[in-house]
Amino acid sequence: MKKRLRNSGRTAKVVRIDSSRPDPNDIRMAARILGQEGILVFPTHGLYGLGADAFCNASIRRVFAVKRRPAHQPLLVLLSGNKDMDRVVRTVPGYAEVLMGLWPGGITVIFEAADTVPVCLTGGTGKIGVRVPAHPVAKALIEQFGGPVTGTSANLSGFPAPARVMDLDPEIRRQADMVLDGGTLAGGPGSTIVDVTCWPVRVLREGVVPRQAIDDVLRKG
């Protein structure tokens, strides 16, 4: 039986971690927390994310509650690589494969969600946003955990996402079970979000990857 964490309501434990060469012991500890229905703050390329087991309904509900996020707004997931796509995606359109060539990095691609994906994760939309992260800590965490992890930003809904742990909202720090502090991140815009469930594809948000780069990749095929 899965052991569940019981949040004490106290500020989350903060673990300093090397963003370029994360300590495997810290990564294993963080992955165990994910496996116990815990949630943690961890560094991604530009901003800090809020991670949870993307296939655990209880963990997903905790993320929504901590962020005060409306239930109809989906959460994206992070994967360790393209090999895990069939765990979360119903099908990959041929024209989407060239966009996946931009991974790892700052593009979130929206697909039709697989039947096994929790409805609460998709906000009832039937779609799922997927990204393969480039940041060494995020990459190591997902690989160690062995499954998809939520990659939503570690902020209250409607407020700026933090690039430093010291800028985390006190409520996030109180509700999370662990914070992996990788120092000051690059900041800037979030990932570019592209919906490939339709053709032509739709750029829902232009972020770190310019829209022109998306158009160029699609045109070249």
End-to-end CA distance of the chain: 47
pLDDT at 1 over 50: no
Domain boundaries, the chain: 13-220
Q: Across residues 111-132, what is the average pLDDT?
A: 96
Name the pLDDT band for 188 (thresholds 50, 70, 90).
confident
pLDDT of res. 99: 93
Spell out where the chain has E strands.
13-16, 40-43, 48-51, 77-78, 107-112, 127-131, 149-150, 152-153, 178-181, 192-195, 202-205
The mean pLDDT of the chain is 93
Q: Answer with the residue of higher pLDDT: 167 or 3.
A: 167
pLDDT at 12: 83
Average pLDDT over every residue of 165-181:
95
Confidence band of 190 (pLDDT split at 50, 70, 90): confident
Share of the chain above pLDDT 70, in %: 95
pLDDT tens-digit series, residues 32-87: 999 999 999 999 988 999 999 999 999 999 999 999 999 999 999 999 998 889 99
Over residues 145-153, the mean pLDDT reads 96
Residue 109 has pLDDT above 90, yes or no: yes
pLDDT at residue 98, as a whole number: 92
**Whole-prediction pTM:** 0.92
pLDDT band at 3 (very low <50, low <70, confident <90, very high): low
Please name every residue paired with 48 in a beta bridge, in sequence order, or none if there are none.
43
pLDDT, mean of residues 116-120: 95
- The distance between the two most distant Cα atoms of the chain, rounded to a whole number of Å, is 53
Torsion of CA 115, 116, 117, 123, to 10 degrees: 50
Q: Is there a contact between 192 and 105 (Cβ–Cβ < 8 Å)?
A: no
Average pLDDT score over residue span 181-189: 91
CATH (residue range 13-220): 3.90.870.10
pLDDT recorded at residue 2: 53
